[in-house]
Amino acid sequence: MENLNKTTTNSKEWQPNAKQKEFLESLKDYPDGVTLKDLEIEKGKKFATGTINTLVSHGLVETVDSDGLSADIVYKGVVIGSKKLDWKIYKLA
């Protein structure tokens, strides 16, 4: 994990903050990836996407789009639209 804690950008050394380190540690338990909601339910921890996006941009975390759920919107027996719900799956890079 030590080598994942530091990356260099524009000759400045960047290090994840405490919340980002906590997120990286949480991902160790999920080699196939995990959603933010699953982390909240299973570990009782909430993470903001802004915190995670920085880790993605530094190449420490990968995101995968889930298949999600799709449903038709029906009004009086007629399909008038559809709705797709999807979420990101996060895993260590």
Query: What domains, with CATH codes, occur in the chain?
Result: 16-92 (1.10.10)
> What is the C-alpha separation between 72 and 8, in angstroms, rounded?
47
pLDDT of residue 80 exceeding 80: yes
Q: What is the SS3 assignment for 11-66? A: CEEECCCHHHHHHHHHHCCCCCCECHHHHHHHHCCCCCHHHHHHHHHCCCEEEEEC
Mean model confidence pLDDT for the chain = 85
Which pLDDT score, from 0 to 100, does residue 78 have? 94
Q: Give the pLDDT score at 70.
A: 82
The predicted model scores a pTM of 0.69
State pLDDT tens for residues 41-72: 998 989 888 889 999 999 999 988 776 778 89
